[in-house]
Chain A
Amino acid sequence: MTVTTRTLPRFGGFSLGMIALELRRLMRNKRTVVFTLVLPAVFFLLFGTSSQYKSERVGGGNVTGYVLVSMAVYGAMLATTSGGAMVSIERAAGWSRQLRLTPLRPAAYVATKITLAMIIGAVSVAVAFAVGALSGARLPASAWVLCALLAWVCALVFAAFGLFMGYLLPSENVMQILGPVLAVLSFAGGLFVPVDDLGHTFATIAKFTPVYGVGELARAPLTHDGNLWLAAVNVVVWTALFAAGAVWRFRRDTARV
């Protein structure tokens, strides 16, 4: 037992080993798997694959492809939110306290959670797109890649949202609260029905909700329309707001020590 040979880990304890173990644990949770991987694909099959949708054209593809991108965004969003919200469960279980007795720095812990959120987000998008490709979705070749990438990258908004909520609500069942919230936001953001079908007033309000920008951006390579600047500003502002909220709660959490 020598005091002098002890060293701190690199990157504040952020490591692939931890990410691998955490992923394995996440995949063990049936509810997470169903909600993030199965549900969006099922919604797509239910709502997007009628023969009418398959033949109706949108941009360089079909309506089925349009619905697919929306559902992929929905899945990515559920996945990244639940990734961020893991914090809440771990705080409630006292696990965060246990982690504080290790060299893992709080910032490295948050970075790990964001990485996990983005990994399951990517898997969710990949599953949805694979199901779509096999079920009649048509997109221009470049849009298969670009839509998927945009759906995934923009879901970072919801990783921040999940973290914020995770620090705000110390609860074992945080996703039972956030699931319905996300459904409402998705509806308002035009993932289930185009916002223009909602009536003028509602459509105007919808453009300021956090899901709207992500949906518009992700579908842009297919539709080539919509106000992309407005959508980009929407994504950036909401990410900043949720990240600020997460940082604020995170600071309080570590200050109380």
Chain B
Amino acid sequence: MGGMTLTASPDLTTAPAAVELDGVVKRFGAVTAVDGVSLTIRPGEVVALLGPNGAGKTTTVDMLLGLQRPTDGAVRVYGRAPHEAVALGLVAAVMQTGALLKDYTVAETVRLTAVLFGRTRAEAQAALRRAGLADVANRLVGKCSGGQQQRLRFAMALLPDPELLILDEPTTGMDVAGRHEFWSAIRQDTARGRTVIFATHYLEEADAYADRVVFVRRGRVVADGTAAEVKAMASGRTVRATLPGAAESQLLAVPGVDRAEVRGDTVLLHGGDSDEIARYLLTRTAAHDLEITSRNLEDAFLALTAEDPA
């Protein structure tokens, strides 16, 4: 029986992370696209990568897929080098651009993917059906609508049954109904425990579908938290008041305050219940000139991803 303990199934602490980025830097000549990103993503997490144009999302994704080699730092996907993980079908992706041949039919494209991954014809058919492409199976890819092409990319990505699915702005250019349909499919899929990383500009998508949100700006991670944390941070209000001589530590002790900032005589208190904060300030301190502003996810996004003034 002693041998059993040695071969026990790996516990959660020793199982490899789905994604491990360690001090990853990517430069293109003078441009630093990714500037020292360290990130660990556990199996089963659904992570949104948010950031403005040129933040380095696609470059990060490319490195996870082995399409770009980092200038510095290490990338591991399920404990392996990215190209190896890709070849084994551990990771698959729906890319931001291109990647389809117009003169293949939908069915042929999926069958070719199946052939390459050593999957059967029946599995290819099942993938077509799952992606809702059965009706257009014999249509040339070049004649398919943008939404159909995107579903085709999705079907191809799911064929190897990857542990990790990467989506780079998967719904860009889709109408509202198309986006809804696409995300329902993803949600059904992730219910089975697949790890998903998606880059997006749509905050509501990050809000609705991600367990964890990573904000990037100019190649750096500027915020990283659960969707709930980000929402709490984003959905509260800010109470602004004039209160000379206040210290941040004192302000943090005010009931309901989760963040506080002192700018000269002005204090900025952030929290979920602004009424409670305002009442406290007016009744228990010398604060005056109160102003209450609400912050939404959009504001948080803009604040976190805005350019430095310098």
Confirm or deny: A252 has a beta carbon within 8 angstroms of a beta carbon on chain B.
no
| In the complex, chain A residues whose CB is within 8 Å of the CB of B66 | 100, 257
Contact B98 A97 (CB under 8 A): yes
Pick the interface stretch among A15-23, A152-160, A198-206.
A15-23
- Which residues 233-247 of B sit at the A interface, judged by CB distance below 8 A? none
B156 and chain A: residue at smallest CB distance: A98
CA distance A15 to B115 in the complex (A): 8
Q: Determine how close the nearest CB of chain A comes to the CB of B280; give it in whole angstroms.
A: 51
Asked whether B161 lies within 8 Å of A97 as measured between CB atoms, the reply is no
- List A residues 83-131 near B (Cβ within 8 Å): 90, 93-95, 97-104
| Contact between chains at B89 and A95 (CB < 8 Å) | no
* Complex contacts, A29 vs chain B, CB 8 Å: 103
Contact string against B for A residues 10-46, beta-carbon threshold 8 Å, 1 for contact and 0 otherwise: 0001010110010011001100000000000000000
- Bound together, the chains give a CA A130 to CA B92 distance in angstroms of 47
Quote the shortest CB–CB distance from A144 to chain B (angstroms).
Answer: 35
Distance between Cα atoms of A124 and B108 in the complex (Å): 25
Q: Encode B148-180 as 1/0 by CB contact (under 8 A) with A.
A: 000000001000010100000000000000000
Instruction: Establish whether residues B88 and A103, one from each chain, have CB atoms under 8 Å apart when the complex forms.
Output: yes
> Do the beta carbons of B99 and A94 come within 8 Å of each other?
yes
Q: Pick the contact of A102 from B101, B117, B194 — CB < 8 Å?
A: B117
Contact, CB under 8 Å: B88 / A6: yes
A8 to B104 Cα, complex, angstroms:
25
- Is B116 a contact partner of A18 (Cβ separation < 8 A)? yes
A24, A29, A102, A104 — which one has the most chain B CB atoms within 10 A of its CB? A102
- Bound-complex Cα distance A1 to B163 (A): 7
Contacts of B118 in A (CB 8 A): 7, 9, 103
Report if A141 contacts B (CB, 8 A): no
Nearest-Cβ distance from residue B124 to partner chain A, whole angstroms: 11
Contacts A6-B88, A21-B108 hold; do A103 and B117 have CB atoms under 8 A apart? yes
Interface centre among B68, B78, B112 (most CB of A within 10 A): B112
Which residue on chain B has the smallest CB distance to residue A8?
A: B87
Would you call B217 an interface residue if the criterion is a C-beta within 8 Å of the partner chain's C-beta atoms? Answer: no
B97 within 8 A of A: yes
User: Complex formed: what's the CA distance from A6 to B119 in Å?
Assistant: 12
The contact of A25 among B69, B89, B90, B108, by CB within 8 Å, is: B108
The contact of A98 among B69, B78, B95, by CB within 8 Å, is B95
Most B CB atoms within 10 A — which of A24, A93, A103?
A: A103
Interface residue? A3 (CB, 8 A): yes
CA distance A102 to B89 in the complex (A): 7
B88-128 vs A, CB cutoff 8 Å, 1 = contact: the mask equals 11101101011111111000100111011110000000000
The residue on B at minimum CB distance from A21 is: B112
The residue in B67, B69, B92, B116 that gathers the most chain A C-beta atoms within 10 A of its C-beta is B116
Minimal Cβ-Cβ distance residue in A for B78:
A3
Q: Does B197 contact A (CB under 8 A)?
A: no
Q: How far is the CB of A197 from chain B (nearest CB, A)?
A: 41
Q: How far does the Cβ of A253 sit from chain B's closest Cβ, in whole Å?
A: 12
- Chain B residues within 8 Å of A6, by CB: 88-90
> With the chains together, A104 CA to B101 CA distance in Å?
17
Residues of A within 8 A of B (CB): 1, 3, 6-9, 13, 15, 17-18, 21, 24-25, 28-29, 90, 93-95, 97-104, 257
Return 29 A-B CB contacts under 8 Å, by A number: A1-B163, A1-B192, A6-B89, A7-B88, A8-B87, A9-B117, A13-B116, A15-B115, A15-B116, A17-B112, A25-B108, A28-B103, A93-B100, A93-B101, A94-B95, A94-B99, A94-B100, A95-B99, A97-B67, A98-B98, A98-B100, A99-B116, A100-B86, A101-B86, A102-B86, A102-B87, A102-B117, A103-B89, A104-B116
